[in-house]
């Protein structure tokens, strides 16, 4: 089979590899689609992936070999790459994404390959059989959707909505009109009905798309209205100190800002600490999604309440991997899906 592997120096190239074999309790998938994630771009740009590594973790595949009673050959499956142990101090206190076991990649070799082995633990508890009417492009967002759901839950927005409705309702502000910012918009619409959502992006076409997807308002970063919005929750889906500071400034007293993006190494937010202190604002991080959030997102996908496949702007063969990366890096693509 073919896979896009990291070479000496950090550049990715297609190479031939032996097809993986299923061990006890495992399955092997023929990749139907694999999404290019911001984390993949980050690792490629900073050349932080190890030589020989195969990136890619947003996958939908067809079972071609199975030693698991859960899946038969021919089944379409979506499965995330991380799984917490469920028993350590992190898992028991709701910090599953910090579990040491969560760092283990359950996919061999990775999503940017024609065939992928899924280990027994992920096959048993994290893999999902796709209904016939669930499009693969929608299912591709299981893992990123779970990350977004955790971000929303850490924001306290659901509680704010319940407390404020029906008199006024809660307000959210999303910084970034890329795929993850717009995925926040779509998941918010699915899990916090009635919330008022605004999106900030420098590109007019991304703002227009946000409005088409259901945003109540869309602003350029320099819009004067941002300074006085006073939202209940703000989501930084871009990264960096300036965005973190803007998210904190946009909050009402008692509101929460969520950091949902990589920041440059050594980056620090430039906001006044007293603003956080005196107005009892909160600044939290949201790194990934646990098994619980993955299951909830799958239910939303299967029911049709969440249909994020609209965010896929480019569908390319694996041979065009370099082109897909460049399109995403230069923001010419919203979301790239590779079809090995």
- pLDDT at position 222 over 90: yes
Q: Give mean pLDDT, residues 263-290.
A: 88
Domain ranges, residue 199: 148-285
Same domain, 229 and 267: yes
CA-closest candidate to residue 290, choices 91, 100, 77, 119: 91
Interval 166-197: pLDDT, tens? 888 899 999 999 999 999 999 999 999 999 99
Q: Give mean pLDDT, residues 206-220.
A: 98
Same domain, 170 and 121: no
Judge whether 16 lies within some domain.
yes
Query: Parallel, antiparallel, or unpaired for β 196-200 and 171-175?
Result: parallel
Dist CA 181 CA 308 (whole Å): 12
Interval 46-87: pLDDT, tens? 999 999 999 999 999 999 999 999 999 999 999 999 999 999
Contact by Cβ (8 Å): 71, 123: yes
Mean pLDDT (the chain) is 95
pLDDT band, residue 267 (cuts 50/70/90): confident
Same domain, 161 and 275: yes
Same domain, 154 and 229: yes
Contact by Cβ (8 Å): 293, 96: no
Dist CA 332 CA 313 (whole Å): 9
- pLDDT at position 270 over 90: no
- pLDDT at position 329 over 80: yes
Dist CA 36 CA 55 (whole Å): 9
Query: What is the reported pLDDT for 227?
Result: 80
Same domain, 130 and 154: no
Angle at 146 between CA 140 and CA 151, to 5 degrees: 135
Same domain, 219 and 111: no
Judge whether 258 lies within some domain.
yes
Judge whether 299 lies within some domain.
no
Residue found by looking up tokens 């969560």 in the block: 102
Count of CB atoms situated within 10 Å of the CB of 133: 8
């Amino acid at each position: 089979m073919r896979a896009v592997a990291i070479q000496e120096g950090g550049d990715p190239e297609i190479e031939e590899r032996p097809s993986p074999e299923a061990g006890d309790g495992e399955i092997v998938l023929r990749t139907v689609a694999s999404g290019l994630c911001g984390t993949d771009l980050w690792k490629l740009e900073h050349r932080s992936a190890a030589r020989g590594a195969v990136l890619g973790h947003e996958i939908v595949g067809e079972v071609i070999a199975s030693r698991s009673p859960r899946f038969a050959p021919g089944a379409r499956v979506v499965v995330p790459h991380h799984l917490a142990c469920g028993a350590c101090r992190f898992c028991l206190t709701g910090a599953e994404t910090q579990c040491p076991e969560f760092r283990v990649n359950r996919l061999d070799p990775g999503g940017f390959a024609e065939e992928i082995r899924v280990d027994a633990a992920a096959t048993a508890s994290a893999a999902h059989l796709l209904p016939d009417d669930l499009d693969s492009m929608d299912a591709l967002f299981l893992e990123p959707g779970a990350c977004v759901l955790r971000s929303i839950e850490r924001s306290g927005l659901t509680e704010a909505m319940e407390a404020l409705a029906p008199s006024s309702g809660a307000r959210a502000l999303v910084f970034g009109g890329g795929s993850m910012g717009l995925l926040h918009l779509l998941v918010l619409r699915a899990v916090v009905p009635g919330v008022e959502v605004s999106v900030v992006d420098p590109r007019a076409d991304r703002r227009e798309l946000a409005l088409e997807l259901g945003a109540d308002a869309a602003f350029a970063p320099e819009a004067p209205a941002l300074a006085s919005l006073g939202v209940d929750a703000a989501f930084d889906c871009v990264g960096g100190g300036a965005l973190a500071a803007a998210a904190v400034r946009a909050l009402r007293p008692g509101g929460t800002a969520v950091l949902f993006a990589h920041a440059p190494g050594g980056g620090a937010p430039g906001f006044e600490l007293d603003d956080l202190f005196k107005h009892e604002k909160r600044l939290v991080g949201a790194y990934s999604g646990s098994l619980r959030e993955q299951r909830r997102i799958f239910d939303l996908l299967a029911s049709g309440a969440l249909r994020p496949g609209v965010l896929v702007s480019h569908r390319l063969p694996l041979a065009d991997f370099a082109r897909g990366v460049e399109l995403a890096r230069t923001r010419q693509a919203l979301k790239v899906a590779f079809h090995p």
